[in-house]
Amino acid sequence: MTDLPLKPLHQEFMGYSRFTRQVSPHTLRGYHDAFDLLLKRYPDMTTAMISPEILITFFQWLQTRQRVVGRGALRQGVKKTTIATYWRKLSKFFSWLVFKGLIPANPLHDKSLQFPRIRYDDKKYLERKDVKNLLGGVCITIR
């Protein structure tokens, strides 16, 4: 396998995704953001460096890095859903690299890595009485 820098390959992947696959602008932005974070952690990353081990350290870094959000608030780590999003976006790029014959396998499909389990137990909804109170002031006439 040839050792190539990832940045120009990702630009090619973005063009392929935009024009050939007709991916939405929202998805393209997700691909870009996930890849930018990977390059922020590993600025000189090449195809030869892609491995399950380096991605484990990348996701660990996401969980421990501090960043400024909102009006200057300092936060550490990210939600599991964010990890899952980055995982999916990067996996699409790595699968494209496999398809192009530039890496032997997608490192995110390795058995040593497990996709984050996400539970959505905190769904918020209105109780029946709350809906009645909201609709109580609305006059609805059905004929």
Weakest mean pLDDT among 29-38, 81-90, 99-108, 131-140 = 131-140
Average pLDDT, the chain: 89
Q: What is the mean pLDDT of residues 9-26?
A: 97
Between residues 101 and 121, the one the model is more confident about: 101
Percent of the chain with pLDDT strictly greater than 70: 92
Percent of the chain with pLDDT strictly greater than 90: 63
Give this prediction's pTM.
0.79
Q: What is the mean pLDDT of residues 40-68?
A: 94
Which region, left, alpha or beta, applies to residue 72 given φ > 0 means left and ψ of -120 to 50 means alpha? Answer: left
Distance CA(17)–CA(27), nearest Å, equals 9
Q: What is the mean pLDDT of residues 17-28?
A: 96
Residue 110 half-sphere exposure toward CB, CA atoms < 13 A: 16
Comparing C-alpha atoms, which of 73, 104, 72, 109 is closest to residue 90?
109
